[in-house]
Amino acid sequence: MKLTVNVDGGARGNPGLAGIAAVATGEDGEVLAERNETIGEATNNVAEYRAMLLGIELAGELGADEVELIGDSELIVKQVQGKFKVKQEHLRPLRAQVVEALSGLDSWTIRNVPREENERADALVNEALDALGSG
């Protein structure tokens, strides 16, 4: 089964209280599942990587063997693709975890879009943070 998974992560403050979200849709565009959670204090980039891991996990739970990951962080997407070096030491293990998780799929692609095209995942991140009273 092929799924599209939109992911987003963000922190209020950088670092600050962070949230992550993933929205899985089927080939017909129907939302099959969505998930969001807070992850404590983190940077925006850490949150973006953690959101990717959440999205891959969600796709696996739904039985996907093909996944298109969509995120609005060009830096993180290009790091996962291997087009950009991971210069920050603390991000290297997270990138390795994402690549390892993706290796369990038959096929995968990843691309970045403008934030406006990642609206639901972005809204879910903010819902998670708002629920904690983080303004």
pLDDT in tens, 73-83: 999 999 999 99
CATH class held by domain 2-128: alpha beta
- How far is C-alpha 103 from the geometric centre of its chain's CA atoms? 16
Gap between the Cα atoms of 132 and 118, Å rounded: 22
- pLDDT, residue 134, reads 57
Residues facing 4 on adjacent strands: 25, 68
- pLDDT, residue 132, reads 85
Spans in the chain with pLDDT lower than 70: 134-135
Gap between the Cα atoms of 116 and 105, Å rounded: 28
Gap between the Cα atoms of 115 and 132, Å rounded: 23
Gap between the Cα atoms of 114 and 100, Å rounded: 26
